[in-house]
């Protein structure tokens, strides 16, 4: 490709406006470099803005101040038990050692990027060596979106997560809101959220939390740092000079803009979850690009651009899986619903095959492992009874409230007055479903799941109901009507992408770095390998390697043309 005729020059070009990309731009600017962020869609924030906003970075200063006793050694032990040898040890070590440094830099060098500990949100394998039952997850501090000015309108949002005017909840709130009818803490949290909602409406504030708050805070920091953000500016290709990346081609206002990046390009444009062709090429069937909860713009453009200049890829067969209710070509994520007492998940033979409360990536891995002709686990069925509906919310529908009409219209829910009738409507063997429920009910009464251990892990119990005895995750299914929801392997995004080194440099298949090219977030192959360490193990590494990339870019000499 010719390197003549650049339309614009910067030191660092960042492709993608999630928290990982914004971190790279902020750190580059903070180290005296001129940075530019380009975003494919008309709204910034990508999947980061649609997420719960969790950030998993062990032993970081926020956790230390909050009183969590952690260490590099404990975190290293835990990552070894979770990731094993799937990812090069030096890259895992870079994440663990540079992570606290990244969070510290953001706190010291920005006025707005702030996080707090989600106390009690256990690591996803808390009983593994080095695992933390109290959790290592941070969440963004809520923020008033009015501070963004006109940029409030272009923040990426999820209509399915939109509540009544003035309503906003944190990750910490969500756990207790599921217990609003059963525990004192649940009732207190419901009252707190209600009063807060009233006050927010009365004062005219536009408060938000979760991932949207995180992205908003990063956007405020970018504005303060003077870093421009171009919307509706998709990447169309990278520009090479010899074997070095020296810039990129970006579509803007209907024309191609050639941008020189004197230090380098950071690809942080998400994964390929919305690209049906790539999913079919790399991933195990059945897979569907409409079941994802990832951002609409995540079609793998940056990964493909990296491959075009010789980059290696890894983990392309995996994703940040999330069991989801299939809803007219979309996926509604099922999180706390699986841990609450009074539900089971069964396969196409009406039999349990998994701990319903296990971490979502592991749940879907199990779905794929067990799926076979005659005994399908894709789809599976989440079955609950009226007692459950009387006590707990389901996909944002409060307890004791009727499910929305579209649940029936699109076949999201199947109801019946008996298990035999329910089995008939689902084409499950009635005698097997009845036997499964009978066995489960007996174990629930005794308080121990002898088959799959539901409720034994601190992670299971986090979303359980402590008011339900003797096991917060187990209760018999006895009260009709019975409900069934079709479960498919949804996801938060894909996990595979460009192979990178400990400095976030993109590598060729022979292990050599492509000069001038960096990647972070879901554009890169995950440092978590095939597992998931804890809530925020997507955004946490995205931030860390965005920071690492910018530090390396600041230390490097410019790429000559």
Query: Any idea where the domains of the chain sit in the sequence?
Result: 167-204, 322-491
- In three-state secondary structure terms, 21 is helix
- 169, pLDDT greater than 60: yes
Binned at pLDDT 50, 70 and 90, residue 93 comes out as: very high
Q: Do 90 and 83 form a contact (C-beta atoms < 8 A)?
A: no
Q: Do 33 and 276 form a contact (C-beta atoms < 8 A)?
A: no
**Closest-CA residue to 28 (of 490, 555, 451):** 555
Q: pLDDT tens digits, residue range 13-25?
A: 999 999 999 999 9
CA pair distance 447, 224, nearest whole angstrom: 54
pLDDT at 326: 83
Q: Do 332 and 325 form a contact (C-beta atoms < 8 A)?
A: yes
Q: What percent of the chain has pLDDT over 90?
A: 93
pLDDT at 4: 61
pLDDT at 1: 40
**Cα atoms found within 13 Å of the Cα of residue 39, Cβ hemisphere only:** 24
Q: What is the mean pLDDT of the chain?
A: 95
Read off the tokens for 393: 């919310």
Q: What percent of the chain has pLDDT over 70?
A: 97
pLDDT at 406: 84
Q: pLDDT tens digits, residue range 493-552?
A: 999 999 999 999 999 999 999 999 999 999 999 999 999 999 999 999 999 999 999 999
- 164, pLDDT greater than 90: no
- 113, pLDDT greater than 50: yes
How large is the angle between the packed helices 89-109 and 72-83, nearest 10 degrees?
A: 130
78-82, 144-148, 360-364, 397-401 — which is least confidently predicted? 397-401
- 174, pLDDT greater than 60: yes
Query: What mean pLDDT is predicted for residues 178-194?
Result: 96
> CB within 8 A of 3, min separation 6: which ones?
239, 240, 241, 246, 247, 260, 561
Q: pLDDT tens digits, residue range 330-341?
A: 778 999 999 999
Query: What mean pLDDT is predicted for residues 193-203?
Result: 94
Top-level CATH class of 322-491? alpha beta
- 408, pLDDT greater than 90: no
Binned at pLDDT 50, 70 and 90, residue 559 comes out as: confident
- The pair phi, psi for residue 236, each rounded to 5°, is -110, -10
Q: Do 504 and 545 form a contact (C-beta atoms < 8 A)?
A: yes
pLDDT at 163: 65
- 327, pLDDT greater than 80: no
pLDDT at 127: 97
- 183, pLDDT greater than 90: yes
Q: pLDDT tens digits, residue range 419-439?
A: 999 999 999 999 999 999 999
Q: Do 107 and 63 form a contact (C-beta atoms < 8 A)?
A: no
CA pair distance 386, 480, nearest whole angstrom: 6
> CB within 8 A of 395, min separation 6: which ones?
325, 332, 334, 337
Query: What mean pLDDT is predicted for residues 381-388?
Result: 98
**Closest-CA residue to 520 (of 552, 485, 490, 474):** 552
- 387, pLDDT greater than 80: yes
Q: pLDDT tens digits, residue range 40-49?
A: 999 999 999 9
pLDDT at 2: 44
- 3, pLDDT greater than 60: no
């Amino acid at each position: 490709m010719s390197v003549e005729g650049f339309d614009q020059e910067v030191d660092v070009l960042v492709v993608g406006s999630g928290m990982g990309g914004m971190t790279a731009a902020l750190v580059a600017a903070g180290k005296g470099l001129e940075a530019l962020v380009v975003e494919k869609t008309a709204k910034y924030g990508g999947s980061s803005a649609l997420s719960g906003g969790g950030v998993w970075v062990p032993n970081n200063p926020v956790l230390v101040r909050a009183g969590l006793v952690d260490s590099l050694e404990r975190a290293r032990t835990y990552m070894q038990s979770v990731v094993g040898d799937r990812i090069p040890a030096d890259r895992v070590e870079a994440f663990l050692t540079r992570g606290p440094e990244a969070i510290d830099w953001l706190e010291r060098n920005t006025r707005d990027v702030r996080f707090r500990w989600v106390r009690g949100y256990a690591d996803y394998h808390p009983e593994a060596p080095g695992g933390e039952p109290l959790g290592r997850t941070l969440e963004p501090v809520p923020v008033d979106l009015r501070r963004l000015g006109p940029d409030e309108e272009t923040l990426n949002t999820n209509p399915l997560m939109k509540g009544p005017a003035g309503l906003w909840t944190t990750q910490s709130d969500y756990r207790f809101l599921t217990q609003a009818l059963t525990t004192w803490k649940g009732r207190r949290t419901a009252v707190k959220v209600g009063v807060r909602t009233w006050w927010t409406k009365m004062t005219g504030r536009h408060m938000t939390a979760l991932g949207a708050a995180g992205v908003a805070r990063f956007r405020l920091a970018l504005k303060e740092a003077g870093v421009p953000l171009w919307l509706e500016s998709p990447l169309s290709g990278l520009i090479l000079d010899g074997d070095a990346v020296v810039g990129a081609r970006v579509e803007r206002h209907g024309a191609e803009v050639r941008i020189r990046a004197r230090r380098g390009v950071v690809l942080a444009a998400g994964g390929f979850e919305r690209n049906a062709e790539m999913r079919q090429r790399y991933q195990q069937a059945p897979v569907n690009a409409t079941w994802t909860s990832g951002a609409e713009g995540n079609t793998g453009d940056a990964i493909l651009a990296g491959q075009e200049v010789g980059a290696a890829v890894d983990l392309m067969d995996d994703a940040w899986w999330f069991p989801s209710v299939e809803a007219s070509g979309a996926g509604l994520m099922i999180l706390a619903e699986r841990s609450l007492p009074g539900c089971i998940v069964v396969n196409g033979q009406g039999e349990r095959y998994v701990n319903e409360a296990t971490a979502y990536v592991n749940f879907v891995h199990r779905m794929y492992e067990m799926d076979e002709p005659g005994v399908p686990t894709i789809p599976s069925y989440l079955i609950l009874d009226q007692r459950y509906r009387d006590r707990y919310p389901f996909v944002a529908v409060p307890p004791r409230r009727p499910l929305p009409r579209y649940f029936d219209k699109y076949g999201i829910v199947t109801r019946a007055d008996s298990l035999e009738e329910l089995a008939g409507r689902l084409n499950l063997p009635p005698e097997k479903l009845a036997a499964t429920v009978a066995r489960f009910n007996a174990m629930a009464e005794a308080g121990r799941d002898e088959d799959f251990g539901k409720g034994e892990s601190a992670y299971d119990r986090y979303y359980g109901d402590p008011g339900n005895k003797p096991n917060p995750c187990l209760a018999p299914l006895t009260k009709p009507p019975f409900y069934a929801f079709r479960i498919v392997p949804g996801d938060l995004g894909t996990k595979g992408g460009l192979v990178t080194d400990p400095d976030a440099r993109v590598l060729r298949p022979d292990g050599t770095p492509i000069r001038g090219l960096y990647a972070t977030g879901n554009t890169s192959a995950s440092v978590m390998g095939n597992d998931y360490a804890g809530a925020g193990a997507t955004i946490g590494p995205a931030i860390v390697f965005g920071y690492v990339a910018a530090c390396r870019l600041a230390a490097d000499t410019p790429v000559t043309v």
